[in-house]
Amino acid sequence: MNNLLLQLNEQQLAAVTITDKPLRIVAGAGSGKTKVITTKIAYLIGELKMAPYKILAVTFTNKAAREMRDRVNKIIPDLTSNPHISTFHAWCSRVLREDFELIGLNKNFLIIDQGDQVAIIRNLINEHFSHLTELKKYTEKKIIYRIGNWKNDLISPLEAMEDCYSGIERAIATLYQKYEDYLKTINSIDFNDLQVLVFKLFNEHSDALEKWRNRYDYVMVDEFQDTNDLQFDLIKFLTRDKNNLTVVGDPDQTIYSWRGAKVDIILNFTKAFLNGVSITLNQNYRSTQKILDLANDFINNNKNREAKDIFTNNVSGDLPIVKECESRNDEARYVTLKIKELIQNGYEYKDIFILYRLNAWSQEFEKEFQNNKIPFQLIGGIRFKDRKVIKEANAFLRTLAAKDEQAVERVLKSIPKVGDVTIKKLKEKAQDMKVSLYDLIVNEDELHINQISKHLTTIRNVLAKSVDVYNENKNIRVTLQYMLVESGYMQKLKDTEKKEDISYIESLYDQLENFDKSYQVENSEEEATEKIVSYLQEEALLNSDADDIEAQKVTLLTVHAAKGLENKIVFVVGLNQDVFPGRLSANSAKEIEEERRALYVAITRAEEKVFITYIKGEFSFISQSELAPSKFIKEFDQDLYHFEGKYQKSSNPFANISHLGSPNLNTQNKVSVGYEKNDIIEHMIFGDGVVIEINGQTMKVAFSSSYGIMPISVSDATISKKN
């Protein structure tokens, strides 16, 4: 044991050996918190002679729990019993399996997952609420989220119904009651129930509470910054007035508020435990000092935090690099070239992380890496082109270009009010008439499809008209946007609040726009849709190459998925306004602080080098405007990073800006010959629109609500000025 303690620094040693009062450990990024937790467990067993089974340690992921168990077994092998190390939910399950009768459960109850929940909610809606068309606009996951919030706030179905302010809310509350009733009939509970029922058990059965309080001589909580109110209540039930609690976390890494985590819980720990003490672990064993200097200075912009400066003895290394790029493709090419340089300098592919705020941002990197034979893996998501929403969008283009039955069927499945029964009847009808599915819908007498369903006229007209739309402009993006809007596909995504899917479509628009610009006609007599076929072939080739290498890969993942991880090289990409931070956080100081914490997490994943990239000037459907540098870049101290512009001798545009300010760098609305802001224009396909912004030869035009804001060239032959 003495050898273990000698390996600790002064703050770590105090964190391990303080056991007589509630302790909060504020563990800065890379400060060895897992080492402290596992060493403390060993100390409790080896020095204080505590029985291992009397120690409880809870965390938030199975991976973290497994790592803790492995480290404890390595430090103190051959234990006669084991400490209980698990996730919060797993520990709650253990409690309920022992005291199920007290809380009204049957023995051998089951725990359902979200997939089961979705199926149950869908069936209940069809059975009891089929007449409520408004309810059908809500996704099952949104309803599950609403029910989960009620549960976590300890609101019963009856109380939910009494508090409802609208008919649709009352319907969801009624559905909540029927959902609870159904779970009882199948002897099941959901993940929210695990914690809620343990709270009710402890709150209503003092004997059971006392039993579980006596079960553990010591309680430890990892990732304490991620706790919500209900979890904190469970911790207080177990440890109140016992001085047997250690919590470990970092307020600057609270990035899961959308799951209920509250940064104020860790910040106000000593208000709940009046005799509690705090220790800060501020020596970093992961990153270079230059990386920490940038991270420390940046996070100081947050107001709701405890000040701490993380330091390291590793004073070597380079300044972080901030790179300005012209486009998303330019950004991906830059990162690709840097990776090749790093590999030549002795690094391995597995040493590299690519971090982004939105999953949709991975698309250009996937494409560029495949073209350059850079092995990569996606964490926390499937490849861009394999995502359902992208496959559906591309099916519209396949239908236009190839008219193949598989694509037509996928299009039919993706649009509103067309189901499997209708599709089956259409296929049977086409077979009887000896025509293709496409021809039946588009080219045969409309009477045939009207006999099957009255909801096919729209898609018939869209597919027929899309040929003309493409022939008029030869622009794939414009054509696809027309098809998705007019078919009702985009409205379906909006109605079901699939915001991430919408961002994927916007990212696809960006990709198609770039393809349209770069496409070169090989001969003047090529067929009308040959460009679309070329695009689809290119995408198919990108997805067809399997990668056999598992360990040696560049890893692409979101900032949230990277929490708790580290690597030698980190690229933080897409640091653009309305992307990181996102549009929805712009008007909330609280949400901006969380976004700032997310960027802090991203930077502090790096051990040796950090590259931060942003795009300036290119229009993006994700941001609905020309991409501009994130406000966070303006908060960086210019002396703490090296700037790389578009050109070799580019000067840093933020060099004369106070890094704590928010300067207005807006250079928009430059007048272009022929058009001015607020002009009303007419587009041959999209109808009337208002010019809201002009940048050189490109203007942003606000069309109808269906099409929204779109970039239009001032030389586009399909537009004319109306006023």
34 marked among binding-site residues: yes
The yes-or-no verdict on residue 514 having pLDDT over 60 is yes
The yes-or-no verdict on residue 520 having pLDDT over 60 is yes
User: Could you count the other beta carbons within 10 Å of the beta carbon of residue 222?
Assistant: 26
Q: What is the pLDDT of residues 152-184, one digit of tens each?
A: 889 999 999 988 878 888 889 999 999 999 888
CATH number assigned to the domain with residue range 110-186, chosen from the 4 options 3.30.465.10, 3.40.190.10, 1.10.1060.10, 1.10.10.160: 1.10.10.160
- Distance from the Cα of residue 42 to its chain's centroid: 37
The yes-or-no verdict on residue 572 having pLDDT over 60 is yes
- Please tell me which of 376-385, 464-473, 513-522 the model is most confident about, judged by mean pLDDT: 464-473
27 marked among binding-site residues: yes
Higher pLDDT, 716 or 230: 230
CA distance 721 to 723: 6
What average pLDDT is seen over the chain?
A: 87
Task: Please list, in sequence order, all residues whose beta carbon lies within 8 angstroms of the beta carbon of residue 183, skipping any fewer than 6 positions away.
Answer: 112, 120, 189, 190, 193
> What is the 3-state secondary structure of 85-144?
EEEHHHHHHHHHHHCHHHHCCCCCCEECCHHHHHHHHHHHHHHHCCCCCCHHHCCHHHHH
The yes-or-no verdict on residue 637 having pLDDT over 50 is yes
The yes-or-no verdict on residue 644 having pLDDT over 60 is yes
The yes-or-no verdict on residue 672 having pLDDT over 50 is no
708 marked among binding-site residues: no
User: Could you count the other beta carbons within 10 Å of the beta carbon of residue 73?
Assistant: 13
Bridge pairing between strands 23-27 and 277-281: parallel
Looking at the structure, give the CATH architecture of the domain made up of residues 385-521: Orthogonal Bundle (1.10)
Contact 363, 384 (CB under 8 A): yes
645 marked among binding-site residues: no
CA distance 100 to 172: 28
For residue 158 the two structure tokens come to 């009856």
Among the ranges given (3-17, 308-322, 667-681), the one the predictor scored with the smallest mean pLDDT: 667-681
Torsion of CA 10, 13, 15, 17, to 10 degrees: -140
Residue with tokens 């692409």: 556
Contact 400, 470 (CB under 8 A): yes
28 marked among binding-site residues: yes
Domain with CATH 1.10.486.10 in the chain: 385-521
The yes-or-no verdict on residue 422 having pLDDT over 50 is yes
Q: Residue 500 in 3-state DSSP?
A: helix
C-alpha pair distances (Å), 602 with each of 403, 414, 606: 45, 36, 8
31 marked among binding-site residues: yes
Among the ranges given (23-32, 129-138, 370-379), the one the predictor scored with the smallest mean pLDDT: 129-138
Q: Is the bond into 663 cis (omega within 30 degrees of 0)? A: no
Q: If you write DSSP's letter for every residue of 225-275 in order, what string do you get? A: GG--HHHHHHHHHHHTTT--EEEEE-GGG---GGGT--HHHHHTHHHHSTT
Summarize the confidence of residues 471-499 as an average pLDDT.
Answer: 90
Q: If one looks up domain 1-99+196-281 in CATH, what number appears?
A: 3.40.50.300
Higher pLDDT, 430 or 78: 430
Q: How confident is the model at residue 546 (pLDDT cuts 50, 70, 90)?
A: very low
Specify the pLDDT at position 595: 94
CA distance 567 to 557: 12
Domain with CATH 1.10.10.160 in the chain: 110-186
**321 Rama class: left (phi>0) / alpha (psi -120 to 50) / beta:** beta
Summarize the confidence of residues 273-284 as an average pLDDT.
Answer: 93
Q: What is the pLDDT of residues 199-246, one digit of tens each?
A: 999 999 999 999 999 999 999 999 999 899 999 999 999 999 999 999
The upper half-sphere exposure of residue 596, i.e. CA atoms within 13 Å in the direction of its Cβ, equals: 27
Specify the pLDDT at position 522: 59
* Residue from 417, 396, 415 nearest 406 by CA: 396
Residue type, 715: S
* Residue from 209, 184, 214, 191 nearest 199 by CA: 209
Summarize the confidence of residues 375-402 as an average pLDDT.
Answer: 84
Residue type, 164: C
Summarize the confidence of residues 370-387 as an average pLDDT.
Answer: 82
679-721: CATH topology: SH3 type barrels. (2.30.30)
End-to-end CA distance of the chain: 84
C-alpha pair distances (Å), 550 with each of 199, 377, 378, 541: 43, 8, 11, 21
Summarize the confidence of residues 358-376 as an average pLDDT.
Answer: 91
Domain with CATH 3.40.50.300 in the chain: 1-99+196-281, 311-381+548-644
311-381+548-644: CATH topology: Rossmann fold (3.40.50)
Specify the pLDDT at position 669: 41
Residues belonging to the active site = 33-34, 222-223, 253, 605
Specify the pLDDT at position 625: 77
